[in-house]
Amino acid sequence: DTAYNAQIEGYGGCLPYQPWSPAGPISGSGGLSLSTAGTISGTIDTSATPSGTLGACSNTIGITNVTLTDAQGKTAVRDFSILVYPQTLRITNSDLPSTTEGASAPIFATLNGTGGMNAYTWSLSGNPGWLGVDGVTGVLSASPPGASAGDYPFAAVLSDSCSTTSKGFSVRVNASSGGTAPTCTLTGPAGPINPGQTADLTWAVTNGPADGAFAPVSGGCSNFTSSNGGTCTTAALVATTTFTLTVSNTNGSNNCSATVTVNPPSAPSCTLTASPGIVDYNSTTSLIWNITNGPADGVFAPSSGTCTSFVSSNSGTCTTAALTSLSSFTLTVTNAYGSGNCSTSAYVGCAGYRVWNNTGGRRDFWIDGACRRINNNAEITTAVILLNPGETIERRTTNNGTCGLPVVSTLTYDTAMNADITINGGDGDCQANFGGTDR
């Protein structure tokens, strides 16, 4: 869950070097990509929760078949690995609420941690007997007896299979004033929310004011002091969560709860666009994808050029191989919540176009380095002289077979292609008029 940047260096061979490959997302990295300049960058995301943790003491990301090609086409191939460690194990609470002698709070507060291996074990050191902790959830329970007012220092200890950390806290026990302990109500949204949305939690305190502490802590819902009521906003939620609020003052403490229901995550969907959507014969195009409810892994059918597959992506671009006919591509995107697909087509021009003179009279035309004098409504091209990709037919000012300059008008391959191709209303028979219309 931190940014990463490293440059792979090449040496030797014949300069200039060609782009590094395979450029694009690195499988299993959860966010790293290799650029054509040889830079590995992005944010390493192993999908472990909470943020900054790993499911092990370390993890290795493998990058295979990284290839550098020089100007003569010679290649060097090497595998790399990145050793990933979790962030430093630490306890994130800043302080704890107070309680009152004689009060009992099964959910007094919740200890929170981050980093390390995400299988936590909690314990306490130096704590009074009436203060305990759930070793798995970190929930503190407090039931100070009568006549126990005072400050009670102790240490919270957080361990995983890799390391241990501790942090000192102090719980203040207030003397009972003989009044009525505060009670509370806590309400959340009236209905379910979608994954990734926040929720407003509203509390009201009876026999207040009172201090309050939320468990679990989320966004702006952590703790408050001397309140009779208020509202806070959680962090973005990805699963149904029950929040418990413990309120306390000198008369005692109580707690109340509210559950925020989160709808199940939706399956990913996608859009796929070919850019350009019409290409010359034997040319490539780019396929551009965008994913909703991602990130997701993706697979192209058919595979073409760099358009093969990707991992953990929300959007991106790839380049097809050279195309020689109408080509349809389908992208299937998948994550833990389901799958979806999207499609697009790339329309491809003919290998060469036959062209007719429709200018209204006999004209001189310059094609393939030769002058051709062509009657109106006769074919300018021949069986062996076609209008090929990248070529242009020029109509010259003369009509006597000399092709005298200047050039009066031109017809390019792309103009003929766009007139004839079916997506634009043409008949796709590889024939066009010099005036730029379908034949």
Question: Burial, 27: exposed, middle or buried (Cβ in 10 Å; 0-12, 13-18, 19+)?
Answer: middle
Residue 23 has pLDDT above 90, yes or no: no
The closest of 427, 367, 420, 356 to 393, measured between CA atoms, is: 367
Residue 181 has pLDDT above 80, yes or no: yes
In angstroms, the CA 347 to CA 281 distance is: 9
Instruction: Identify the weakest region by mean pLDDT among 45-49, 68-72, 131-135, 373-377.
Output: 45-49
Residue 188 has pLDDT above 90, yes or no: yes
Fold adopted by 183-260: Immunoglobulin-like (2.60.40)
pLDDT tens for each residue of 83-136 = 888 889 999 998 888 888 888 888 888 999 888 887 899 999 999 999 999 999
Residue 162 has pLDDT above 70, yes or no: yes
pLDDT tens for each residue of 358-371 = 999 999 999 999 99
Residue 28 has pLDDT above 80, yes or no: no
pLDDT above 90: percentage of residues in the chain:
65
Residue 37 has pLDDT above 70, yes or no: yes
pLDDT tens for each residue of 391-408 = 999 999 999 999 999 999
- Report whether 243 contacts 221 (CB < 8 A): yes
CATH code linked to domain 90-174: 2.60.40.10
Residue 74 has pLDDT above 80, yes or no: yes
pLDDT of residue 206: 93
> Which is more confident, 426 or 71?
426
> Which is more confident, 34 or 385?
385
Q: Where in the chain is the domain with CATH 2.60.40.10?
A: 90-174, 183-260, 269-348
pLDDT of residue 99: 86
> Which is more confident, 194 or 283?
283
Mean pLDDT estimate for the chain: 91
Highest CATH level, class, for 269-348: mainly beta
The closest of 123, 126, 131 to 106, measured between CA atoms, is: 131
pLDDT of residue 175: 81
Residue 339 CB coordination number (10 Å): 16
- Report whether 110 contacts 139 (CB < 8 A): yes
pLDDT of residue 59: 81
* 418 φ, ψ (degrees, to nearest 5): -65, -25
Strand order in the sheet with 32-34: 3-7, 39-43, 32-34, 24-25
In angstroms, the CA 393 to CA 129 distance is: 96
In angstroms, the CA 379 to CA 389 distance is: 19
User: In the structure, what pLDDT confidence band is assigned to residue 54 with cuts at 50, 70 and 90?
Assistant: confident
Residue 326 has pLDDT above 80, yes or no: yes
